[in-house]
A and B are shown apart, each in its own frame.
Chain A
Amino acid sequence: MTATTRTTGSADTAAVRRAISSTPRPPRPGRLSAALVFGWRGMLKVKHVPEQLLDVTVTPVMFLLLFTYLFGGAIAGSTSAYLDYTLPGLLVMSVLFTTVYSGISLNTDLTKGVVDRFRSLPIWRPAPLLGSLLGDSVRYVIAGTVIIVVGMALGFRPEGGFAGAVAALALVVAFSFGLSWVFSVLGLLMRSPNAVMNAGFMAIFPLTFLSNVFVDPTTLPGPLEAFVDVNPISVLATASRSLMAGTPDGVAIVVSLAVAAGLAAVFLPLTTRLYRSR
């Protein structure tokens, strides 16, 4: 062990004065570049604490194994047949679950003094939120990739090939980006990260299970089937499935993107307002 006691003198006044006086003000950054800087901030956090990616990778893999081996035989006759049906849906589920973490991390951020600094900067108002959600999108891509890779290791072979899988992933990530504004509002309204987590999962768990992610809705009783059919998560899972199968379902894809755009249109301005006033 080397113990070094550092006896730094007081800050060098001349250097301090030089540092203070040497700043011509640069022009304001553009909107997008300010947002991208916040995205970079999110990446740096992952770099310093890579373990935080465990959340977004372990849970989906667990679900994948659980459903494929525990229920696969019972639901679809064989595990491999079930994998073909359910993997595109599990992709949807794992990425959607990750969006809840966007709300949680925003809520955690708000308890820190650094938010006051961001809010006192002359930057485009939505930049901090837009940027951190852009950064979170990287997590969504990771969560989705993990599911697809593990699925393929278990024998999943998408008919649509590599392009189909990538297209499905892109669609799901785009949808999640829209949905994450909803959880940002939760993150801004709730009192603690835990409350955000509870509320978030309370909403997204039943919605996911009452969709066609795990079971074919034609086997369900009438009213339930009706609900499952209009559940946007079903639509997204259908779209994802169609892309993976190499037979894109145009309607499902357009509806998914429209829902995402609608969510963002409503909740983005709301988040920006809440972020300013909190």
Chain B
Amino acid sequence: MTTQTPLAIEASGLGKSFGTTRAVDGVDLAVPAGTIYGVLGPNGAGKTTTIRMLATLIAPDAGSARVLGHDIVTEADTVRELVSLTGQLASVDEELTGRENLVLLGRLLGYSRAAARDRADELLDAFDIAEAAGRLVKHYSGGMRRRLDIAASIVVTPRLMFLDEPTTGLDPRSRNQVWEIVRALVAEGTTILLCTQYLEEADQLADGLAVIDRGRVIAEGTPGNLKASVGTGSLQVRLLDPGRRAEAAELLERSVGPVVLEADPAALSAVGADAERAAIAVAGLAHAGVPLAHFWLQQPSLDEVFLALTGHAADEAADETSPTSDTLREHAS
């Protein structure tokens, strides 16, 4: 295989252990230039570790990767000139003001004092943080801090940008602002590797997607493919009589798919329900005389993606020793 679209990231068999934890266990990635590529995974899946290796912050102990054609180990210095990183912990200095942060980075990237100031002001204006420019970052709201963080990453526009969970903890409006900025970056030609825990975020932004779990890529494709393979969503049901939940679970499992018993003793959900199957399932419950408080169809969440792809719920990955008894389905593995 030779040149089709050039690849911005090519990783093969990338691995990294911390003590006995195999944080990343043989990850292969092929990210086409000029796209947003999502890496979706639950807590502890190895997203941050993967990004840190690709951004040359830590060396892999297995496999290799090229970023924009340069090896991340032997040409780390060149890679650093082409990429920038917006880490999971805000990668800005809390004890400085927003403007000082940007001027500092401008100076470190080689701007003169005056040019660094101009660039800082331009970014502060564009990212809607001008009013807080003179305040210490530790007093910023989460959304402002994130925008400053992204602004800090594009003091010099990078050819590739790593974004590690850029919207975790943000309210919907701040989240939309970040999404707009990300779209603008791609429109201007930057490739973006986006780690996220939210299927919706990947769905909104990403052109391609890899799902990782326990340090391995377990699925790859477009967000559309992935959702199709998961089913359109889950049927959420709340019963009037918690005592009949087992009976309801059995019915739903037969007509829809794997059932999750929620923490609420009257609630359960069935994964993989499209509208038609959901209608049949609800009719089935009514027919069997199981009284419903209410029901609704929900878009697939990361949990459901994981349940469908791996047979275990996402949050169990982090805590393998005590599988929750909530899933009716046996651990397939």
Binding site for B on A (CB under 8 A): 6, 8-13, 15-23, 25-29, 33-34, 37, 40-41, 44-45, 48-49, 112-114, 116-123, 127, 277
B246 part of interface (Cβ distance < 8 Å)? no
Residue contact B77 to A122, C-beta cutoff 8 Å: yes
Residue contact A123 to B108, C-beta cutoff 8 Å: yes
In angstroms, Cα B190 to Cα A17, docked, is: 12
Binding site for A on B (CB under 8 A): 52, 55-59, 77, 80-81, 83-85, 87-97, 100, 104-105, 107-112, 115, 119, 122-123, 125-128, 131, 136, 147, 152, 154-157, 173, 176-177, 180-181, 184-185, 187-188, 190
In the complex, residue of chain A having the shortest beta-carbon distance to the beta carbon of B138: A48
Per CB-CB distance, the 4 closest pairs between chain A and chain B, nearest first, are: A113-B89, A26-B110, A19-B126, A117-B91
Instruction: Tell whether A49 pairs with B115 under 8 Å between CB atoms, given A29-B109, A120-B57, A121-B80.
Output: no
Cβ–Cβ < 8 Å partners of A119 in chain B: 57
Cβ–Cβ < 8 Å partners of A116 in chain B: 52, 55, 57, 85, 87, 89, 91
Residue contact B87 to A112, C-beta cutoff 8 Å: no
Apart from A11-B128, A23-B156, 17 more pairs, CB < 8 Å: A10-B176, A11-B147, A11-B181, A13-B180, A23-B157, A29-B108, A29-B109, A48-B95, A49-B95, A113-B87, A113-B88, A113-B91, A114-B93, A116-B91, A120-B80, A120-B84, A121-B105
Residue contact B107 to A37, C-beta cutoff 8 Å: yes
Instruction: Tell whether A27 pairs with B110 under 8 Å between CB atoms, given A10-B173, A120-B56.
Output: yes
Q: Which of A15, A18, A120, A127 contacts B55 (CB 8 A)?
A: A120
A276, chain B: closest CB distance, angstroms:
9
A135, chain B: closest CB distance, angstroms:
12
Residue contact A15 to B188, C-beta cutoff 8 Å: no
Cβ–Cβ < 8 Å partners of B94 in chain A: 112, 114
Instruction: Tell whether A15 pairs with B125 under 8 Å between CB atoms, given A25-B156, A44-B96.
Output: yes
Residue contact A19 to B109, C-beta cutoff 8 Å: no
In angstroms, Cα B56 to Cα A185, docked, is: 22
Cβ–Cβ < 8 Å partners of B108 in chain A: 29, 34, 37, 118, 121, 123, 127
B149, chain A: closest CB distance, angstroms:
8
Instruction: Tell whether A277 pairs with B58 under 8 Å between CB atoms, given A11-B180, A12-B126, A20-B188.
Output: yes
In angstroms, Cα B76 to Cα A120, docked, is: 9
B170, chain A: closest CB distance, angstroms:
13
Cβ–Cβ < 8 Å partners of B88 in chain A: 113
Q: Which of B59, B89, B154 contacts A19 (CB 8 A)?
A: B154
Q: List 11 A-B contacts (CB under 8 A).
A: A10-B128, A11-B147, A11-B177, A11-B180, A11-B181, A16-B126, A19-B154, A23-B155, A40-B104, A45-B95, A121-B108
In angstroms, Cα B95 to Cα A12, docked, is: 27
In angstroms, Cα B125 to Cα A125, docked, is: 32
Residue contact B95 to A8, C-beta cutoff 8 Å: no
In angstroms, Cα B136 to Cα A44, docked, is: 11
Cβ–Cβ < 8 Å partners of A34 in chain B: 108
Instruction: Tell whether A10 pairs with B180 under 8 Å between CB atoms, given A17-B187, A48-B95, A49-B95.
Output: yes
Q: Which of A9, A18, A26, A48 contacts B109 (CB 8 A)?
A: A26
In angstroms, Cα B57 to Cα A8, docked, is: 36
Cβ–Cβ < 8 Å partners of A40 in chain B: 104, 107
In angstroms, Cα B156 to Cα A164, docked, is: 48
Cβ–Cβ < 8 Å partners of B176 in chain A: 10
In angstroms, Cα B93 to Cα A28, docked, is: 22
B84, chain A: closest CB distance, angstroms:
7
Cβ–Cβ < 8 Å partners of A26 in chain B: 109-112, 115, 156
In angstroms, Cα B109 to Cα A127, docked, is: 12
A120, chain B: closest CB distance, angstroms:
4
B89, B93, B104 pick with most chain A CB within 10 angstroms: B93
Cβ–Cβ < 8 Å partners of B112 in chain A: 26
Residue contact A122 to B80, C-beta cutoff 8 Å: yes
Q: Which of B87, B110, B188 contacts A117 (CB 8 A)?
A: B87
B109, chain A: closest CB distance, angstroms:
6
Residue contact B87 to A6, C-beta cutoff 8 Å: no
A38, chain B: closest CB distance, angstroms:
8
Residue contact B58 to A16, C-beta cutoff 8 Å: no
B187, chain A: closest CB distance, angstroms:
7
Cβ–Cβ < 8 Å partners of A13 in chain B: 180, 184
Q: Which of A114, A122, A127 contacts B91 (CB 8 A)?
A: A114
In the complex, residue of chain B having the shortest beta-carbon distance to the beta carbon of A115: B91
Cβ–Cβ < 8 Å partners of B58 in chain A: 277
Cβ–Cβ < 8 Å partners of A28 in chain B: 81, 110
In the complex, residue of chain A having the shortest beta-carbon distance to the beta carbon of B84: A120
In the complex, residue of chain B having the shortest beta-carbon distance to the beta carbon of A49: B95
Residue contact A20 to B87, C-beta cutoff 8 Å: no
Cβ–Cβ < 8 Å partners of B187 in chain A: 17
Residue contact A41 to B184, C-beta cutoff 8 Å: no
Residue contact A112 to B122, C-beta cutoff 8 Å: no
Cβ–Cβ < 8 Å partners of A114 in chain B: 90-94
Residue contact B181 to A120, C-beta cutoff 8 Å: no
Residue contact B156 to A10, C-beta cutoff 8 Å: no
